[in-house]
Structure 1
Amino acid sequence: MSFNEGANLDPSQVDDRRGSGGMGTRGKVGIGLGGALILLIGGAFGINPNLLNGVVGMLDGGQSQIGPVASGSNGVAECKTGADANNRLDCRITATVNSLNAFWPGYLKPLGANYGKVKTVLFSTSTNTACGPASTDVGPFYCPGDKTAYFDPGFFQELVDRFGSSGGPLAQEYVVAHEFGHHVQDVLGTIGNAQNDPQGPSSGSVRVELQADCYAGIWMRYASTTKDPSSGQPFLAQLTQKDLGDALSAASSVGDDRIQKAATGRTNPESWTHGSSAQRQKWLTTGYQSGDINKCDTFAVSQP
């Protein structure tokens, strides 16, 4: 899903920490896109990290990127327009952050929810968070403790190389939108269900992740009409069938069954925490087709 070249970007919404990693003290748990985050939150959620033996090696934050990340020394400060977003991964992340922060406040206002702009951090190697130290192995995640979404851009190449996802723009934008979906859950009060019922195909954890996928789908539906506040021009061009296929490919690639099979050669639904490939595609599609947050109530169905 391409950005309109004339859209104005706001790089101040992204804190670029690449090259300045550091580790801190462990705090609250973070909520992430893929199974690798289990290795960070396993202690709090009671999940056995051995369920995903071999996955850490897959998500090693390699230096190969899907397109250039930075052409100079100023990182995302150089991300000014939609044309930059179409040419550079870090600018695409920045532009997606801008679009999401422009969309969700108005969408949630009728519900009486105060969204606020999500803080976003780009990092490499490691970084400090209110949820504890995070390394590249964690993959993208949202930390409720500081209401911040964290991304190592190296993950996006690993998503293609190790998990077989499409490398298309909406595959990457979906990852960002999923983490912002966790912030919406934080605002609406459902995010804590992941800790109350941490694993299994119908667990609270799985339902939280699938709901975040559904919320990402809602943003996808309205992304081409969400306008840059400074210019009044939509951030993104109209979504195509290829774009939708790219997003569904990414959702499938981070299904618990697919990750487990790649790591161990078998699947164990009772240990799932994020949902199967089919579940993730189903709920992303539900959000996109309906555009209705009420249709994303993964807690109201017997089998998500």
Structure 2
Amino acid sequence: MKFNPDADLDTSGVEDTRGSGGGGGGRLPGGMIPVGGGIGGIILLIVILFLSGGLPGGSDGSGSDEPAVQNTGAGNLGSCKKGVDLQKNADCRFVVYQNSIQSFWAAELPRRGKKYTPAPLRVFDGSVNTGCGPATSAVGPFYCPPDHRVYLDIGFFQTLQNDLGARGGEFAEAYVVAHEYGHHVQNLYGYLDRIKTRQGPSSDSVRSELQADCLAGVWTNHATTVPDKSGKPLITELTDDDIARGLDAAASVGDDRIQSKTQGQVSPETFTHGTAAQRMKWFKTGMDSGDLTACDTWSANPL
């Protein structure tokens, strides 16, 4: 994955609250985050408690061929003004992800006659207060519909590699952020209001999560053509290895993979996000088509 060093970065939609205390604490109240969805959601909380005994980043030795991502500073994303700034602050890549994903949807939805409302990315550590209630890092990345924000603790990517067995890498990170922005697109279209059934292999929750994967794939199809405000591309190259890492990340957070790791058996009746195969399938569907109309998981049978 290559970033354009000449690209202009916009930090107005990125809120870096790391090191500020965040507030909140405790576990998320029941019934909150599952509405907006997340890459791991409540299931991830169980995974972390089983595998690392606490919050993200508890174990090592996963056999990953890329090092686990380290949180390089607190409250430092505001200094990311140009693509070249990644050379001195690698965390600036999260500004690039956010700029590219949001810029794509901000152009794509109006082209289809739908108004786009911006959604900030709030980066935190430890705990955070949200419009959905207080949350901790253990919840994993998530989108909160009431305040139209994506929430991310960068330490999650250590968990993704070390505890969930993903290969990791920059595009694995980008896929996660794009998935959460997929939930924002769903919210703007009213799809999140359709979620009535929370568990089961064909539940509304699973259909919502797979659609968010598909929407992440749609952005991926266009990622190297999304410009900054001056027309320069933000991301200049995605390799086959990048795509493979994105698909691998999608598979690593499949319900069957997570349940197998945490409880030694798979219980489809408790699925909330879809299987590894389904998550890869729908991400690839969006990526291959580049068209959000291909992401109709609500009428798909089978998923």
- Whether the 8 Å CA contact 2:18–2:75 is kept in 1: the answer is no
- Whether the 8 Å CA contact 2:6–2:82 is kept in 1: the answer is yes
- Whether the 8 Å CA contact 1:28–1:131 is kept in 2: the answer is no
**Aligned-pair RMSD on alpha carbons?**
2.4
Secondary structure of 2:143's counterpart equals strand
1:276 aligns with 2:271: no
Q: How far off its partner does 1:240 sit?
A: 1.2
Partner of 2:63: none
CA distance in 1, matches of 2:49, 2:135: 18
Partner of 1:253: 252
> Pairwise mapping of residues 4-15 of structure 1 onto structure 2 (< 5 A)?
4-15=4-15
The CA deviation string for residues 84-112 of structure 1, in whole angstroms up to 9 with x for no partner, is 34764531111111111211021111332
Same amino acid, percent of matched pairs: 45
> Pairwise mapping of residues 130-209 of structure 1 onto structure 2 (< 5 A)?
130-194=131-195, 196-209=196-209
CA distance in 2, matches of 1:86, 1:274: 36
CA distance in 1, matches of 2:54, 2:82: 30
Matched letter for residue 121 of structure 1:
R
CA distance in 2, matches of 1:106, 1:153: 27
Q: How far off its partner does 1:245 sit?
A: 0.3
CA distance in 2, matches of 1:56, 1:300: 36
Q: How far off its partner does 1:212 sit?
A: 0.2
101-110 or 207-216, which deviates more: 101-110
Partner of 1:45: none
> Pairwise mapping of residues 1-304 of structure 1 onto structure 2 (< 5 A)?
1-19=1-19, 20-23=21-24, 29-30=32-33, 31-38=36-43, 54-55=49-50, 57=52, 60-62=55-57, 66-70=68-72, 74-85=75-86, 88-194=89-195, 196-230=196-230, 232-304=231-303
**Is the alpha carbon distance of 1:150 and 1:86 closer, same or farther for their aligned partners in structure 2, counting shifts above 3 Å?**
farther
The CA deviation string for residues 4-28 of structure 1, in whole angstroms up to 9 with x for no partner, is 1111111221111112221189597
Matched letter for residue 270 of structure 1:
E
Q: How far off its partner does 1:83 sit?
A: 3.2
The CA deviation string for residues 180-207 of structure 1, in whole angstroms up to 9 with x for no partner, is 000000001101223x011111111000
- Whether the 8 Å CA contact 1:36–1:56 is kept in 2: the answer is no
162-171 or 268-277, which deviates more: 162-171
- Whether the 8 Å CA contact 1:2–1:169 is kept in 2: the answer is no
**Is the alpha carbon distance of 1:260 and 1:54 closer, same or farther for their aligned partners in structure 2, counting shifts above 3 Å?**
farther
Matched letter for residue 72 of structure 2:
A
For structure 2, which runs of at least 5 residues remain unmatched after alignment? 61-66
CA distance in 2, matches of 1:29, 1:207: 18
**Is the alpha carbon distance of 1:55 and 1:12 closer, same or farther for their aligned partners in structure 2, counting shifts above 3 Å?**
farther
For structure 1, which runs of at least 5 residues remain unmatched after alignment? 41-48
CA distance in 2, matches of 1:58, 1:295: 40
Q: How far off its partner does 1:149 sit?
A: 0.2
20-29 or 171-180, which deviates more: 20-29
**Is the alpha carbon distance of 1:217 and 1:53 closer, same or farther for their aligned partners in structure 2, counting shifts above 3 Å?**
closer
CA distance in 1, matches of 2:203, 2:88: 40
**Matched positions, count:** 291
Matched letter for residue 118 of structure 1:
A
Q: How far off its partner does 1:57 sit?
A: 3.8
CA distance in 2, matches of 1:272, 1:6: 44
Q: How far off its partner does 1:113 sit?
A: 1.4
- Whether the 8 Å CA contact 1:2–1:86 is kept in 2: the answer is no
Matched letter for residue 168 of structure 2:
G
Q: How far off its partner does 1:80 sit?
A: 2.1
- Please give the TM-score of this superposition, normalised by the length of structure 1: 0.88
